[in-house]
Structure 1
Amino acid sequence: MTTTPQSDLGRFYDDFAEDYHLLYPDWDAALARQGAALDALIRDRLGAGPAEVLDCACGIGTQAIGLAALGHRVTGTDLSPVSAARAVAEAAARGLRLPTAAADMRELPFPDGRFDVVVCADNALPHLLMAEDVRAALGEMRRVLRPGGLMLLSTRPYDELRRDRPASTPPQTTESDGRRSVVFQLWQWHADGERYDLELFRLLPDATGQWQVAVRRSSYWALTRAELSAFAAEAGLTGADWVQPADTGFFQPVLIARAP
């Protein structure tokens, strides 16, 4: 098993940055909803004051902007410089400051103990297909957390998905700039039953009404909750606990752990 080259993954999200918001029927509503859910988890565990937050896979800012809007001091990093730049622009358009940098989560460009909270959301970590890379990323998250700091990491519900091994996701229809688009995914599971290749299809009508199709490809490791909790413990994070969407309002299960 070989991991996806990070240069290829960065290009995947560079190419996707312009229309990533089309994954959501209403991206602005998603910013507010996801920010509020993560904010509640942070304040419940760290207190009412605003936190110093790193979103280490910020993408175009879906979680980072939502948290910044609620008063947290958020810094974003992402493997894709194009995505990180769009996050800055989207935050500024909403009157918010969101400094970002292009960085690999396995080598975060910050000193030890810099942040109260590290967020790694929206199924970003499972792009790492090898155990040593997962350990490296979680080790870096733990390193940049202050003592007692909080890690919030979300993935797809892989316990269930590994059992059912779906071949596709339902189509998502979105309207943007007066044009309707359709997004869906096809999944091809590897023989190990743990990893899968993803093809992301985006259908968008052109000026004549003809559907134009764009396809992007990537791979994921469908880590179970127990596997990720064990990796977090190996990285020195403590008290690993999973909270579910029904309890948090966040759209994915969230692993919560602390730096000792």
Structure 2
Amino acid sequence: MSEASAVARFYDELAADYHLVYANWDAGMAQQGQALNSVIRARLGNAPASVLDCSCGIGTQAIALALCGHRVTGTDISSSAVRRAGREASSREVHLPVAAADMRRLPFAGHRFDVVVCADNSLPHLLTEEDVHAALAEMRRVLRPGGLLVISTRPYDEILRTRPVSTSPQLTSTPTGRTITFQLWDWHNDGERYDLEHFQLIPDGEGWRVHVRRSTYWALARQQLADSVTEAGFAAAEWEAPESSGYFQPVLTARVP
């Protein structure tokens, strides 16, 4: 199975239960949207922007940004995820065009968007310098001159110092009980990439329904990713910490000259 197919399968399998990684998905959506909206407006001004969320998943950031007044289009490598994003947007009376697409081959003409968002640790699914550069080059291609790139990843500088092997359990209350979500990580010999097992234990009658989904990530350090962004033709690449942006992950922004 190709790398792209494996990532698509991971999110196809997760799409129906993705909201369960949040204690409260709607509250998380609102908080993330407000934070990203502030990042965008601080750099581009208060006018609504044309935004591409090129890793929209089930719509967490895309729907939230649309509710903040932006004109948002969502794409994702998972067809199941984008279908759900479309349904979730419609149920909230939000206009959100969606399409299944690989971020390395975006199906849009050049210079179409004011902002491209690639949030929630999506870019690190790409495991080689060539693929990261291809994705960043596509993001730059579809941005207008002066356009804004917004990427968020896990805090990999800190993670690379300790190389954890698991995440803490996340509990989500549902009408049938509490769902438990956690991850196990297995680091590769290169010390940068890791295989992830994503566990969800969902109440099912007197027992549990257990899902295990697997994927691989590249723990890109901040300077490493900033250098890649600059090499792809962006300018003024800078990181903003969660304490400053209000977003739950470090945020990298850069501009098209």
Fold in common (TM above 0.5): yes
Deviation at 1:176, TM superposition (A): 2.0
Look up the SS of the partner of 1:148 in the other structure.
Answer: strand
Aligned counterparts of 1:96 and 1:228: Cα–Cα separation in 2: 33
How high is the sequence identity, in percent, across the aligned residues? 61
Look up the SS of the partner of 2:95 in the other structure.
Answer: coil
Q: What's the counterpart of residue 27 of structure 2?
A: 29
Of 88, 91, 96, 2:89 maps to: 91
Deviation at 1:212, TM superposition (A): 2.3
Q: What's the counterpart of residue 255 of structure 2?
A: 258
Of 241, 246, 250, 1:249 maps to: 246
- Could you tell me whether the CA contact under 8 Å between 1:4 and 1:219 is conserved in 2? no
Query: Which range moved further: 216-225 or 171-180?
Result: 171-180
The two structures have a TM-score, normalised by structure 1, of 0.97
- Could you tell me whether the CA contact under 8 Å between 2:10 and 2:213 is conserved in 1? yes
Aligned counterparts of 1:188 and 1:11: Cα–Cα separation in 2: 20
- Could you tell me whether the CA contact under 8 Å between 1:53 and 1:118 is conserved in 2? yes
Q: What's the counterpart of residue 219 of structure 1?
A: 216
Of 92, 101, 104, 1:103 maps to: 101
Look up the SS of the partner of 2:48 in the other structure.
Answer: coil
Deviation at 1:7, TM superposition (A): 1.0
Q: CA RMSD in A?
A: 1.0
- Could you tell me whether the CA contact under 8 Å between 1:4 and 1:128 is conserved in 2? no
Aligned counterparts of 1:188 and 1:48: Cα–Cα separation in 2: 44
The two structures have a TM-score, normalised by structure 2, of 0.98
Aligned length: 257
Q: Which amino acid aligns with 1:215?
A: V
Deviation at 1:179, TM superposition (A): 2.4
Q: What's the counterpart of residue 60 of structure 1?
A: 58
- Could you tell me whether the CA contact under 8 Å between 2:176 and 2:203 is conserved in 1? no
Deviation at 1:177, TM superposition (A): 2.9
| 1:105-254 to 2 correspondences below 5 Å | 105-207=103-205, 209-254=206-251
Q: Is there any run of 5+ residues in structure 2 with no aligned partner, and where? A: none
1:223-248 C-alpha deviation (Å, 9 max, x unpaired): 00000001001100110000010001
Deviation at 1:11, TM superposition (A): 1.0
- Could you tell me whether the CA contact under 8 Å between 2:55 and 2:77 is conserved in 1? yes
Deviation at 1:5, TM superposition (A): 1.6
Aligned counterparts of 1:131 and 1:12: Cα–Cα separation in 2: 22
Q: Which amino acid aligns with 1:235?
A: A
Aligned counterparts of 2:70 and 2:203: Cα–Cα separation in 1: 39
1:62-119 C-alpha deviation (Å, 9 max, x unpaired): 1001100011000000000110010011011111011000000000000110000000
Q: Which amino acid aligns with 2:51?
A: V
Deviation at 1:4, TM superposition (A): 5.7
Aligned counterparts of 2:211 and 2:43: Cα–Cα separation in 1: 42
Aligned counterparts of 1:204 and 1:71: Cα–Cα separation in 2: 35
Aligned counterparts of 1:35 and 1:79: Cα–Cα separation in 2: 21
Aligned counterparts of 2:174 and 2:53: Cα–Cα separation in 1: 26
